[in-house]
Amino acid sequence: MPSGGKRRPGVLDATRAQLVRSLEQREGSVWLRISRAVAVAGYPIERALNRVRALRSDGAESLLAMAVALLYLADVRTGFIGKPRAERGPWQRHTLPDLAQLAYGAQGEAELRRARRSLDMMVSIGWAFPSKQVRRYAVDGNFRSEPAVRRLNLQRLCEMTGTTWLLTRDRQHADRARGNGTPSFEAGRQRRQERQQERVTRPDAVRAHEQRSRSTGDPPAQSGGPLQHVAHILDLLGKG
């Protein structure tokens, strides 16, 4: 949430109100769309889409608490779930115990399971993107696990709750206030895919070039370069 007296984007309160109406009071189009479509813990995969009962009150309560918590933790422009660092730089990601504490007020084993199930439910109905685990190489030679990258699908969430126009307005306002140079997750994913493709195709191109050189009799690139320089020097010395 914004601090220092800053006003929260209006789309957050409006979306929260619709979520409360749908999940707590069980009415409206949102409840009709998700009550039998959301993934429920305990059902086998082969029956997940053919179950009989709708989402129960305890599951709806857990989903509502987590959805509201993530809604106020997410960046309105990108949906990234985190908080800005005081020293600037990349935003700080929240761990699963952090989210359980914020949504349910505790970090016990039961709350962690509850948080994990609620996140799975949000992913199943498209309100959140699947989380990405992060492991970084440390200076001691080991890999260190960090909190996963989580993002809300604000576009779909607001579309289902009828607040898309508010999301568009608040994103435009945020762009004007903070600039539109915020890195895009989609652009970042595209850049990573391009670099990976370059790593895959570059050896093939090199091998193809070497194959062409052998077939045409051309010497390999820069082959014998130092020897040619030495021969040239000896030739100059021999001439006096």
Look at residue 3 and tell me if it is in a domain: no
Give the C-alpha separation, 117 to 232, whole Å: 74
Residue 87 lies in a domain: yes
Number of domains the chain is built from: 1
Residue 2 is predicted with a pLDDT of 47
148, part of any domain = yes
Q: How far apart are CA 222 and CA 232, in angstroms?
A: 16
- CB neighbour list of residue 119: distance below 8 Å, 6 or more residues apart: 66, 99, 128, 131, 150
> Considering the entire predicted model, what is its pTM?
0.67
| Strand extents, DSSP E, the chain | 82-83, 92-93, 132-137, 143-149
Does residue 122 sit within a domain?
A: yes
Nearest to 151 by CA among 219, 75, 48, 227: 75
Residues linked to residue 134 through DSSP beta bridges, in sequence order: 146
In a domain, 152, yes or no: yes
CA–CA gap between residue 147 and residue 130 (Å, rounded):
13
**b/e code 11-33 from CB counts within 10 Å (16+ = b):** bbebbbebbeebbeeeebebbee
Looking at residue 85, the DSSP 8-state letter turns out to be -
Largest CA distance in the chain: 102
Please provide residue 152's backbone torsions phi and psi, each rounded to the nearest 5 degrees.
-85, 145
Q: Per residue of the chain (240 residues), what is the pLDDT tens digit?
A: 444 556 788 999 999 999 999 998 888 888 888 887 787 765 555 555 555 566 888 888 999 999 999 999 999 999 999 887 777 777 788 889 999 999 999 999 999 999 999 999 999 899 999 988 776 666 777 776 777 889 999 999 999 999 999 999 999 988 888 765 555 545 555 666 777 677 666 565 555 555 555 555 554 445 455 556 556 666 666 665
Answer whether residue 18 is part of any domain.
yes
- Residue 157, Cβ density class (10 Å: 0-12 exposed, 13-18 middle, ≥19 buried): buried
CA 193 – CA 191 distance, rounded (Å): 5
pLDDT of 87 = 74
169 falls within a domain: yes
197 falls within a domain: no
Range of the domain at 115: 10-182
